[in-house]
Structure 1
Amino acid sequence: MPVLDLQQLNQFLAEHFPQGDQYGVLESVGRGSAVMRLAVSEQHLRPGGSVSGPAMMALADVAVYAALLTRIGPVALAVTSNLNINFLRKPLADADLIADARMLKVGRMLAVGEVYLYSGKAAAAEASDPVAHATLTYAIPQ
């Protein structure tokens, strides 16, 4: 059972990270996992009709942050200390981006998570090939 459920996490993010909704919408959470969806629009595209790297990194970051909070609770000052992303294929410009995040390890001071990004309207579990994969480390305040 997650420390924070979907409703509690959405409320926490609205209060402490109100700009976060520009990076996607939280669709579901579990203990140490989160799924987010970004409705891709013109502001997320780069020349050539591809979703920009910064848009994909922001979605990945917020998704892992949400997954982390399901384990540690409402800790506003947990911050990203490392983000590594591999862009695997060009995402569709006219489709949502879906982030499927999960925590790999949650310690007292550091947490490591991963996220797969998918392009399309289907749920992440139904999508075929990821467009990106990222690993993130978060520093947890004492």
Structure 2
Amino acid sequence: MTAADLMSFLDREFPQVSGEFAIEEVGEMHIRTRLLVGERHLRPGGTVSGPSIFALADVSVYLAILAMIGPEGLAVTTNCSIDFMRKPMAGVDLIAECRLLKLGRVLAVGDVLIYSEGMSAPVARASLTYSIPPK
């Protein structure tokens, strides 16, 4: 699926997050996505909340999988491990660099590094496993 296909799918199947994310690049087993940070993503102290960072990691792996296998709405997260390494910059979009490490018939594993736009060091690292429903 192309970036446009993925965004259309996300808007249609998950309207609750419409306008939250952008896709910057789609490649073989790779995707770069962006969380369009707004006031709703901030926690006290002005930093991006953990749940918002998790959402970016989760949607990045999901979209990377769909880019490879096509529109499969019932692929689901079965495991996630996330390390919050440093405070994101306030009011700045977050960018996720995601690569799929394994894409099998029933399981996919992805690794995500998340950066504040303009920062060279990652603010978080996540590893996610997805279950892909049988055909």
Give TM-score scaled by structure 1 length: 0.88
Which residue pairs with 1:99 in the alignment? 96
The answer (yes or no) to whether the contact 1:23–1:58 under 8 Å persists in 2 is no
Q: Distance in 1 between matches of 2:111 and 2:42?
A: 24
Question: Structure 1 vs Structure 2: percent identity of aligned residues?
Answer: 54
Please give the TM-score of this superposition, normalised by the length of structure 2. 0.92
Structure 1 Cα separation of the partners of residues 11 and 42 of structure 2: 25
Correspondence list, 1:83-122, <5 A: 83-120=80-117, 122=118
Q: Give yes or no for contact 1:23–1:55 (8 Å, CA) kept in 2.
A: no
2:130 to 132, 138, 141: 138
Task: Report the Cα distance in structure 2 between the residues aligned to 1:86 and 1:104, rounded to whole angstroms.
Answer: 18
Q: Write the letter of the residue equivalent to 1:132.
A: A
How many equivalent residue pairs? Answer: 134
| Partner secondary structure for residue 18 of structure 2 | helix
User: 5+ unaligned residues in a row in structure 1: which ranges?
Assistant: none
Residues in 1 aligned to 2:49 and 2:98: alpha-carbon distance in whole angstroms: 19
Q: Which runs of 5+ in 2 are unaligned?
A: none
Q: Which amino acid aligns with 1:112?
A: V
Q: CA deviation at 1:20?
A: 3.0
C-alpha RMSD of matched pairs (Å): 1.3
Aligned residue identity for 1:59: L
